[in-house]
A and B are shown apart, each in its own frame.
Chain A
Amino acid sequence: MKLGIRTRITLLMAALGILASGLTGYYAYRSSQSLLAEAAEREMLTSTRGLGRRLILNIREAAKEATLLAELPATQAVADLPDTSPHAIAARNNLARIFESVLAIQPEYFQIRLIRADRHGLEVVRIDRDGSDLTRVDDAALQEKGHFPYEFRTLKLKPGETYLSPIFVNQEQGAHTGHGQPTLQVARQVFASNGRLYGLVVINIDLNGLFDLLKADLPPTLKLYLTNAQGDFLIHPDPEQTFGFQRGRRILAQDVFPPVEDIVDGKADYRAIALTNPPPLRGHPTVPTTAVFLRQPLGDYVSDDPFAIVGLSMPQREITRPTHTLATATLNIVFVFSAIAFVLALWMSRALTYPLQLILQAVGRVSTGRDLGELPLDRKDELGDLARGVAHMHTQIRDQMGVLDEHRRTLDHLSRHDTLTGLPNRRMFFDVLQQAIARAEQADTQLAVMFVDLDNFKDVNDSHGHATGDRVLQVVAARLQHCVRAVDTLARLGGDEFIILIESLGSREPVTTIAHKLIAQFETPITAGAREVLLGLSIGISILPEDGSDAETLVARADEAMYAAKMAGRNGYRFYSTQPASS
């Protein structure tokens, strides 16, 4: 299919317009998406930092509390009194009341205990949280804890140090509310007043309670994770995924969020992770998710887990949700601008091609010889230049054509007339004669050819010069013309020879009349300049159809008859058919 310039320009410009607005819209959408993603990551990082800070603040507070409790005179009293002392029980009761009041004001503590170093780590005073109540565990139910790391590790601390346990699920039987719950312990050594190491004070912190408080500030779409320094999940949206190591099976954050490995290895403090294609693991994100994990040092304590990793995740569709509105708006804008671009393209291509079409039509009219018609001559731009150029070219061509026509007409005249006398020349005469023969044959009429020759003209030339001769010939022509009818044709064959065609003859009478008139015309001398010349005529006549049926024969016969007339004594005429055959 052949596409016109207008269609092509329309298509091209519309395509350009749509492409430009489409690309602008697309990149605006994309960049706003990545801006949102970055903003979400920043926000999540800030949130994880906040969570981490709250965590260490709570740990610090618990550590201070443990230190305070370990150094209380009431604690020392228990340490100082031998088991057999009558005051020992009162001292323990007193300490138990203090533990209870601390638990009462610290809802995130599960348990506070005083444990002795000897007797396999037997508990001495133990207060457990039991639902909304606090329970003091009675003597018979007190347990031996010597085989737990928090016991033997605390006992090995240097003075002034605090032990911080790894986060674990407390599976110690009889721990009341704290049983089966994620727990963090802080412990401090207890000394008797004589400096003897008596045992330790341990506070169990409720990790879930702590994080439930922290989570309350987070939007519900955010999922909270906590892992230990090795990456084992401690808090996870799916509780099944936590504390796998206590069931003999490790469930590691780096298996789900591989970049967490860098934090575990100490190569990075935090990682923002975009899981576009999450591995199909039960309980883990199944939709594209963005997560931020942050290494959170837990403080200056003796611990197997020097830091925890706090993480937050959010489905990416939640992050990019605002861009849906943006996408709709962008699409609308793109659509409107595309439509505008299309209309503009139509209008522009019309504005551009209409003058071109006018010029094209004008050029078409030039070739058919008509007028140019309407042209955008007033435009000030290139199209105006083109129109003016076309108009100028048209004027030039028209003028040139006029000159050429004139020349052609002149040349045509020249080729058919005698320049000296203005009479038709031999060529034209023959044309006229042939047409006349055809007409005469059709109308069954006669015609006559009169061959006229000037007698003694050579003498005029010789004695008076060619200029005079020419002048004479002009006069001769005028006189001959005078004698013939308007319908007859007088021509000069060359030199002093003239020829006359007389048509529509019924008889020879008119011819004879004309011949006499001609001869009579030359009875008066011809004035040429200062001279007078007297010339005679010899006339030979041939008649169609008697003397021939074609132009050449008729002229040749008239010539012969003229010659005969000349021979017969000049200044006379003779018909070909009446001359003697012998001559």
Chain B
Amino acid sequence: MLCLRISRCALLIWIALAVYLGMSPSALAMETLRVLAWPGYADADLVKIFEQRHGVHVDVTLVDNDDVLREKMAADQGAHFDVIAANTAEMVHYIDSGLIQPIDTQNIPNLRKQLPRFRPLSAIPGITRAGRVYVIPYTYSEMGLIYDRRRFKTAPSGYADLWNPRYAGQVLLFDGGTHNFSLATLALGLDPFHIPPGARQQVLKKLLALRRNALAFYKLPEEATQLFREQSAALLFANYGSQQVKQLRDAGADIGYVVRRNGVLAWLDCWAVSHGARNKALAEAWIDYTLEPAVSHALSARQGLANTLETTGATHASGRVIWLQPVEDDAWRNRLWQRILSGERESRLLQ
């Protein structure tokens, strides 16, 4: 009789232990996916769906500039995050530093839904390295031209119109050395991201011409909108893309937006899996999730940013998109740009 009781007790204990062990992965130690991204890239409602689907907790950290992102990733070799978002130029830095790891594209079936311009991934600079995919495009914005429709009978042909003396003193440009050098180089028909030393003087002259044709150089979209309207500008280089189109239209400006002919500069933000990711498959599941039509569409609808699945009205089908890349010498470009912006004349600049 006593023997029977003991064995029954033991059985109960064994069952309890089995239930406890069976539950532990989900109920007792819920896994956490750590996302480092930009405002609007991981909205709470979309995160919640992912959490429910995978039975995990998602911890989102938001950054609003590249320097902060670099700072966060630099800590402990990226061990504090599983998946990050950054533009292709920045991603090159992360690949170089070994802070991100190759992605298994088999785990991201939604890649098939992306627009043709994102296929094959190897065609986009900064995405692959030694035949392995490191980053997955998520959102992008072209730096097109905004123009006053009352001044243009036909849309401007492209970046070349920024130099058109017809619009002297009516062209609004962005106060950014790297991009303006790329613009000038592109106008000269060269690789915008790699200025050969021999072409430097030529590029500087082109930039001086650009300055002399400019009304002003802006830093913020609001500043551009105000100047465009108050000073009756004709043409605006939209560094912030469609965001500026919306802002100007909201302000009541009669404008057009053009992206075509000789190509348009565009930044491309991508996802990558951190070198220190705890669960690579979960990180890849997150990337795949953001490429679902509903999630990608929400990004466009809410942030006004283009997603990689749908075409936008502004992007001409034939438009060649030139994805931003790291440039040959950022410091040199910016140093020189400051001098150009300050109003230095050719004689002194080319010394």
Partner-B contacts on A (CB < 8 A): 120-123, 140-149, 152, 171-175, 245-250, 304
B321 CB → nearest A CB, Å: 23
Tally of A-B residue pairs with Cβ under 8 A? 65
Provide a sorted-by-A list of 8 A–B residue pairs whose CB atoms are within 8 angstroms. A145-B343, A147-B216, A147-B341, A147-B343, A148-B216, A173-B338, A245-B223, A248-B65
Q: Name, among B215, B223, B342, B348, the residue most crowded by chain A CB atoms within 10 Å (CB to CB).
A: B342
A152-B342 in contact (CB<8A): no
Cα separation A173 to B344 with both chains bound (whole Å): 8
Shortest 6 CB-CB contacts between residues of A and residues of B: A143-B343, A173-B342, A144-B343, A172-B342, A147-B214, A173-B339
Q: From A140, which residue of chain B is reached at the shortest CB distance?
A: B348
A146-B169 in contact (CB<8A): yes
Contact A152:B216 (CB < 8 A) given known A172-B343, A304-B226 = yes
Cα separation A121 to B341 with both chains bound (whole Å): 13
A144-B169 in contact (CB<8A): no
CB-contact partner of A149 in B169, B219, B227, under 8 A: B227
Interface residue? B231 (CB, 8 A):
yes
List residues of chain A with CB within 8 A of the CB of B212: 120, 144, 146-147
Cα separation A149 to B338 with both chains bound (whole Å): 17
B interface secondary structure, majority: mixed
Interface residue? B64 (CB, 8 A):
yes
A interface secondary structure, majority: loop
List residues of chain B with CB within 8 A of the CB of A249: 64-65
Cα separation A123 to B344 with both chains bound (whole Å): 10
List residues of chain B with CB within 8 A of the CB of A172: 341-343
A149-B342 in contact (CB<8A): no
List residues of chain B with CB within 8 A of the CB of A148: 216, 343
Interface residue? B113 (CB, 8 A):
no
Partner-A contacts on B (CB < 8 A): 64-65, 169, 211-212, 214-217, 219-220, 223, 226-227, 231, 338-339, 341-345, 347-348
Q: Name, among A140, A147, A174, the residue most crowded by chain B CB atoms within 10 Å (CB to CB).
A: A147
A250-B169 in contact (CB<8A): no
A121 CB → nearest B CB, Å: 7
B215-A171 in contact (CB<8A): no
List residues of chain B with CB within 8 A of the CB of A152: 169, 215-216, 231
List residues of chain B with CB within 8 A of the CB of A246: 219
Contact A141:B348 (CB < 8 A) given known A121-B343, A149-B227, A152-B231 = yes
List residues of chain A with CB within 8 A of the CB of B223: 245
Starting from the known contacts A152-B216, A173-B342, 13 additional A-B residue pairs (CB-CB under 8 Å) come to A122-B345, A140-B347, A143-B343, A143-B344, A144-B344, A146-B212, A171-B338, A172-B341, A173-B339, A173-B344, A245-B220, A248-B219, A304-B226
List residues of chain A with CB within 8 A of the CB of B220: 245, 248, 250
B169 CB → nearest A CB, Å: 7
Cα separation A140 to B343 with both chains bound (whole Å): 12
Cα separation A245 to B215 with both chains bound (whole Å): 19
Cα separation A143 to B219 with both chains bound (whole Å): 21
B9 CB → nearest A CB, Å: 50
Cα separation A249 to B64 with both chains bound (whole Å): 9
B63 CB → nearest A CB, Å: 11
Q: From A173, which residue of chain B is reached at the shortest CB distance?
A: B342
Cα separation A494 to B231 with both chains bound (whole Å): 151
Q: From A249, which residue of chain B is reached at the shortest CB distance?
A: B65
List residues of chain B with CB within 8 A of the CB of A173: 338-339, 341-342, 344
Cα separation A152 to B214 with both chains bound (whole Å): 11
Q: From A168, which residue of chain B is reached at the shortest CB distance?
A: B219
List residues of chain A with CB within 8 A of the CB of B227: 149
List residues of chain B with CB within 8 A of the CB of A250: 220
A147-B217 in contact (CB<8A): yes
Q: From B345, which residue of chain A is reached at the shortest CB distance?
A: A144
Q: From B211, which residue of chain A is reached at the shortest CB distance?
A: A147
